[in-house]
Amino acid sequence: MDGAFVPSRSITAADIAHARPRLQWEVHLMVRDPAKYFDSFKKAGAQKVVFHYEAAASNIEETVRRARAHGLRVGLAVNPETPISTIQPLLGMVDGVLFLSVNPGFYGAPFIPEVLDKVKELRRFSPLMEIGIDGGIKESNVGLVAKAGADFICVGSAVFRHPDPGESFRHLQSLADHAAG
């Protein structure tokens, strides 16, 4: 988060490089001009960049090309108000879609349930597309999210604001697995 595309700020590529994570990871860029961040995050170890359609709408093809030139996989994040029809022509260029189920940039923001309809719609016309959802996921809605057809669910405050984050994660995983059946 750069404080411009969204009002909040978050960790940087330098922060991650310093931590030297020993796992594969991707970066969700909530920034203006996402391409200017690709090099530093690739050097920090990212395998995939996810950037917002809304931040690069006028230059998606070039932004994807620049990510691929860095050897990165590409995900397209979509804000709650953006219609699926807007991103449909771009699906052949990306490896996945991440639907935001909150207004981006605010940790712990309320879940927007209408986004589940977008997950279902995308799953219908693009059954092999990797689909994720991020924002406002809690015990009360993780089952609905899993049932909607998301391949992965990003959870923050429901885990990290819990007194026992590991237990919270395992419980949410169980609820999602049960619902996805």
What is the DSSP secondary-structure string of 105-137?
T-TTPPP-TTHHHHHHHHHHH-TTSEEEEESS-
Domain containing 63 equals 13-180
Domain membership flag for residue 163: yes
Domain tally, the chain: 1
- The yes-or-no verdict on residue 64 having pLDDT over 90 is yes
Q: Please, what is the average pLDDT of the chain?
A: 88
Average pLDDT, stretch 54-59? Answer: 84
The CA distances from residue 67 to 35, 64, 148, 173, in Å, are 7, 5, 29, 31
Tell me the sheet residues that pair with 75: 50, 96
The pTM (predicted TM-score) of the whole model is: 0.89
Q: What is the rounded average pLDDT of the residues 153-176?
A: 90
Instruction: Look at residue 106 in the predicted model and tell me its pLDDT.
Output: 66
pLDDT of 83-129, one tens digit each? 999 999 999 999 999 999 998 766 667 899 999 999 999 999 999 99
Contact between residue 170 and residue 142 where contact means Cβ atoms under 8 Å apart: no
More confident residue, 47 or 109: 47
Q: How far apart are CA 74 and CA 57, in angstroms?
A: 15
Is position 5 within any domain?
no
For residues 56 and 152, the model is more confident at 152
What is the C-alpha separation between 55 and 76, in angstroms, rounded?
A: 10
The yes-or-no verdict on residue 3 having pLDDT over 80 is no
Residue 71 has pLDDT above 90, yes or no: yes
Look at residue 1 and tell me if it is in a domain. Answer: no
Q: How far apart are CA 9 and CA 62, in angstroms?
A: 25
CATH of the domain at 106: 3.20.20.70
Specify the pLDDT at position 28. Answer: 84
